Structure 1
Amino acid sequence: MSKHRLVKKTSGFVIALLLLSMLVPVLASAAMYFNGTFTSGGTVSGQVYFDGEVGDAVYAKNGDDVTLSVYGKNGEFISVVTVTYASYSDGKSYYTVPGTVINSVYDAVYFGYDDGAVSSVTSNVYRQSAPPTGCTYCGGGGGGGGGSSSGSTITAFNGSVSESELKNALASYTEVTIKVSGDTLSIPVAGLLNAKEGAILNIVTDHGAYILPLAAFDFKALATSVESDVEDLKLNIGIHKLTGADADAVAAAVTAAGAKSLADAVDFTIGVEGKDGKKADISNFDRYVKRKLPLTEEAKKTATVALYNADTKTLSFVPSLVSSTEAEFWRNGNSIYTVIELNKSFNDIQSHWGQADIELLASKLIVDGVTDTTFEPNRNITRAEFAALVVRSLGLNLVNGTSTFSDVGSDSWYTGVVNAAAKAGLIEGYEDGTFRPNAAISREELAAMIVRSFEYAGGESSVTASTQNDILSKWADANKIVWGQLEVAKAIQAGLMDGMTDSTLETYGQATRAQTAAMLKRFLVKVNFTNP
């Protein structure tokens, strides 16, 4: 079974982003630099150093402390801070910045020095982002691949960055941010080839961000696709805000869904270009890749990122976490995305035990009603219907064409979802080669598919033979589990499955639509694919 893991956030992974030095009048030829962090909690720490002849003559060797001014990135004075002399080497004087807490309203600051003879400032130091609370599995970006380095920022000019800038930044840092003023960026692949293991590029524009793990790219294969050498390859990235008729089409789809829009519609694209100008699109990755969208309006609990399908003119769920100002989302493909808010309910779930879960998933475009006003929470669900739900929950692309199952035709409504679920290793057929799409799914089968989906999304549930027996021994009817003892034990341990009573699991029973919604919601929340 193929399992795709999200790149995990590294706890405490710090990001200190440096911009180009600000142009200010200088009274003498000395430069001041900062190397350190500005944490999400507001603490700035690290070192500043002076470089140049004046620095050699004035600041160094005497061991005196130096008083610096701290400014917001807009030039507003914040406070003064005393930095302690640390060392002198090769014309550079190093000073230690204490753990200084900066007012939380600032997202970037810089240090300034002026003694009447010398005046200099550092580049802007950007505050790192705080990870979502309890975000165990939300990878594909954000915190990097386990490195302990601080981040570095490169500012793109005219939609491109230089090979040398990339090499220098990636030689020292695991995560490098590239600030883009427009909506396209061209990256020379030669600047990426010697990056540290787990390196990530954080491409930031006004319309959104793309957090790209370099391990997601097979540059040799991409070079072959455009008949080029790897060293001559360019990575072309687009984060385009839709306008005109394209934006109107997305707005119409939002209205048709009964939702309202909380963000601009943005098209995320990636492609490669060879030396002779030949190009190829990169439409899919072998892992989840993280992106971000800024919100135009504050979001509520039911908000979600939605993918817009230009062919069907419809919206679908995208695994995402939405804060009051920003949406983070994960997919292994490229498309047009926006953020919507919908409040959906049904007449026949009022006061039902599964009402909250059903309403949440319906509002996020994961589950549908049988009609606009009814959900039929106690009706059994088929194997094909549940395959469609897990494919939708994971944001997977449909896989049309011939199925590996003898009873799944190429023109059935469920062909694309069954093929996609099988390709991802989420479902299995029977020994006779059938899938039995219209058969009611049992709670045992439901547990197995939920656990596989949980693991596909990066969830971990380690159950040994001993712990499996301990878990199942608590249930009087565990001996009626036919084949999925391990999967059921994992589902219980991970908190994905409950018993029907305090002492029975009833894995032999048929799963209802309400039970399915409850298990889907637990799984999505545990892997941080939706807000609780």
Structure 2
Amino acid sequence: MKPAFTKKTAQVTVLALMLSIMLPVLAFAATGFSNLTFQNNSLNATVSSTTYLDSNVGDAVYVNVYGNSGALLSVTPAVYSNTYSSSQGWSYQIPSLSVNGYEGPLTVTTTVYKAGVVDPSESATTTVSYTSNNNGGSTGGGGGGGGGGTISGATMSVPSDGSIDAYMLQNALTSNNEVVLNLSGDLALIPAKALTSFTNDTTKTLRITNSKGTYILPISVLNLSDLATALGTTVDELIIKVSISAPSADDVASITSAATALGATEIATPVDFNLVGLAPDSKTQTIDLGSNYVSRILPLTKAADSTRSTGVVFDTTTKKLSFVPSLINTADTGSTATIKRNSNSIYTAIELNKNFPDSQGHWAQGYIELLANKLVVDGVTDTTFEPERNITRAEFAALVVRSLGLEQAAGSSSFNDVASGDWFAGVVGAATKAKIIDGYEDSTFRPNQPIKREELAAMVVRALNYAGAKPTVTSERQNELLAKYTDANKIVWAQQEVATAIEAGIIDGITDNTIAPTNQATRAQSAAMLKRLLTKANFIN
């Protein structure tokens, strides 16, 4: 009897061990689907969890929809419905997911977070057929495994209060270079903790958009640690607040008056773009973008001619409009202005048709009129430009600052011949801060001295460097570029800058074999170099 009893005891023990091994699998079985339907070119899905969990995971379940190329079409949180059944587990539902106009099979995947980390064992994938002409289809079941493929895009819907789930955003960014945040209202409250893993990745971008405009925010431009410190909080508590809103009625009226004073036509509805850090105590901190030009897109109210149109920034203090780097684009879906700037403000777009009788037939006529229409250059009077007049160092510094869309820097100057009350003090300050200008050994800037061509080339090259568009020129290439010009030996100090300007296509010779580095530059030459600078930096069409 004893051997038989021992044998049966061993069998029971083995069975118990087998059950103990199997039970965790049953207790944490893969999530599945039920009532997943497609109808009227939209995905209207109800997802029920069949995961046997010891406790529910709250709101940490997400549903991803992928196209047949692996592109992530939509991400949404599954809403815990507070129901449980022994056959299905904890039940979750998802709202309607829009995948309008997409044809081909779709893959639906769940992702479950535990303690903020994706648990690959708690996932399921199923594939359904879907075409733009069908009126319905369905699938059921679903087995383990996650969605696959190379992800190229994702869209998240943001409610009117701007709230964004950190896990949901982190999940989308993990698989996508660009995540689109579709705003129901005017703001997005982005949890900084969702971005911390991506701040060193220059490919990761948030595209925040509503009917008023779009803000394209590279995550790499955000210094989250410094921002949190400035606000007296932690990165985990920090919020990046992006708003795309209508300006006040008074500002809108002032913009119209400013456009009228210029003789311009408004071709966009003004939009106030803002970007700040937000602490739990509601304290805010403006985010310094440094020299990073961040794009914002404005829809235009009409088809626009890029030679006569430009994006502009509205100064709420002076009530004036100024040029801002911008590309005018026209497509079947409508015209837009892509504004590029490293600070935030109110932006709109205008159209202008400016010409100067004294520049008709001049070799620089096209440059002059193009930049006058974009508010980069001014006439000496309303009807004269004086293209062959010399330009001073202060005047050209002002044009470079304007071309880069920089804010003027008030305050004391480092140059002993630039007083705070001088008209050029703000632009000299801005150009100095951006390392576009420097002075002489005696600490003077000599603002009223006519600028020489080599000085002009140096300023333009430094502006290219600030805009991130300066080409690299080796010493061998420098010698090769300058060897063409018989008067290159007359360059006093800016050999490298002049060679770089030649390489960038910004400066050329007075003749085929002379560069005239010590000649005083003219207003026409300045306009030509500024136009080439803006084109090289991709700041105008």
| Structure-2-length-normalised TM-score | 0.75
Q: Which amino acid aligns with 1:417?
A: V
Structure 1 residue 415: Cα displacement: 0.7
| Contact 1:443 1:507 (8 Å CA) reproduced | yes
> What's the counterpart of residue 24 of structure 1?
44
Once residues 510 and 113 of structure 1 are traced to their aligned partners in structure 2, the CA distance between those partners, rounded to angstroms, is: 73
| Contact 1:184 1:239 (8 Å CA) reproduced | yes
Larger of the two Rg values belongs to structure:
2
The alpha-carbon distance between structure 1 residues 154 and 25, as it changes in their structure 2 partners (threshold 3 A), is closer
Equivalent residues in 2 for 1:166-177 (5 A)?
166-177=169-180
| Contact 1:242 1:264 (8 Å CA) reproduced | no
> What's the counterpart of residue 248 of structure 1?
253
**1:318 and 2:324 correspond:** yes
Number of residue equivalences? 438
The alpha-carbon distance between structure 1 residues 386 and 93, as it changes in their structure 2 partners (threshold 3 A), is same
| Contact 1:28 1:118 (8 Å CA) reproduced | no
The alpha-carbon distance between structure 1 residues 416 and 259, as it changes in their structure 2 partners (threshold 3 A), is same
The alpha-carbon distance between structure 1 residues 208 and 32, as it changes in their structure 2 partners (threshold 3 A), is closer
Structure 1 residue 282: Cα displacement: 3.1
**1:155 and 2:161 correspond:** no
Structure 1 residue 47: Cα displacement: 7.5
Structure 1 residue 35: Cα displacement: 2.5
The alpha-carbon distance between structure 1 residues 482 and 457, as it changes in their structure 2 partners (threshold 3 A), is same
Q: Which amino acid aligns with 2:66?
A: N
The alpha-carbon distance between structure 1 residues 521 and 29, as it changes in their structure 2 partners (threshold 3 A), is same
> What's the counterpart of residue 232 of structure 1?
237
Q: Which amino acid aligns with 1:425?
A: K
> Please, which runs of 5 or more residues in structure 2 have no aligned partner?
1-40, 51-61, 74-97, 108-120, 143-149
**1:217 and 2:227 correspond:** no
> What's the counterpart of residue 300 of structure 1?
305
Q: Which amino acid aligns with 2:462?
A: R
> What's the counterpart of residue 66 of structure 2?
35
Once residues 227 and 192 of structure 2 are traced to their aligned partners in structure 1, the CA distance between those partners, rounded to angstroms, is: 11
The alpha-carbon distance between structure 1 residues 186 and 437, as it changes in their structure 2 partners (threshold 3 A), is same
The alpha-carbon distance between structure 1 residues 212 and 82, as it changes in their structure 2 partners (threshold 3 A), is closer
Structure 1 residue 163: Cα displacement: 1.3
Query: Identity over the aligned pairs, expressed in percent?
Result: 47
> What's the counterpart of residue 484 of structure 1?
494
> What's the counterpart of residue 389 of structure 2?
379
Equivalent residues in 2 for 1:422-441 (5 A)?
422-441=432-451
> What's the counterpart of residue 63 of structure 1?
none
> What's the counterpart of residue 518 of structure 1?
528
The alpha-carbon distance between structure 1 residues 83 and 429, as it changes in their structure 2 partners (threshold 3 A), is closer
Structure 1 residue 494: Cα displacement: 1.2
> Please, which runs of 5 or more residues in structure 1 have no aligned partner?
1-20, 37-43, 50-72, 98-108, 121-147
| Contact 1:308 1:316 (8 Å CA) reproduced | yes
> What's the counterpart of residue 192 of structure 1?
195
The alpha-carbon distance between structure 1 residues 251 and 47, as it changes in their structure 2 partners (threshold 3 A), is closer
The alpha-carbon distance between structure 1 residues 47 and 489, as it changes in their structure 2 partners (threshold 3 A), is closer
Once residues 352 and 308 of structure 1 are traced to their aligned partners in structure 2, the CA distance between those partners, rounded to angstroms, is: 32
Residues 252-284 of structure 1 show CA distances to partners (whole Å, capped at 9, x for unaligned) of 111111100110011111222212222333365
Equivalent residues in 2 for 1:85-484 (5 A)?
92-93=125-126, 114=136, 149-158=151-160, 159-195=162-198, 197-198=201-202, 199-242=204-247, 244-282=249-287, 285-301=290-306, 302-324=308-330, 325-484=335-494
Once residues 254 and 391 of structure 1 are traced to their aligned partners in structure 2, the CA distance between those partners, rounded to angstroms, is: 21
| Contact 1:398 1:416 (8 Å CA) reproduced | yes
Structure 1 residue 418: Cα displacement: 0.7
| Contact 1:34 1:46 (8 Å CA) reproduced | no
Once residues 511 and 185 of structure 1 are traced to their aligned partners in structure 2, the CA distance between those partners, rounded to angstroms, is: 48
| Contact 2:244 2:271 (8 Å CA) reproduced | yes
Residues 345-402 of structure 1 show CA distances to partners (whole Å, capped at 9, x for unaligned) of 1121011111110000001000000010100100000000000000000001111111
The alpha-carbon distance between structure 1 residues 255 and 461, as it changes in their structure 2 partners (threshold 3 A), is same
User: CA RMSD, aligned part only?
Assistant: 3.2
| Contact 1:26 1:118 (8 Å CA) reproduced | no
Structure 1 residue 178: Cα displacement: 0.6
| Contact 1:153 1:178 (8 Å CA) reproduced | yes
Once residues 507 and 139 of structure 2 are traced to their aligned partners in structure 1, the CA distance between those partners, rounded to angstroms, is: 71
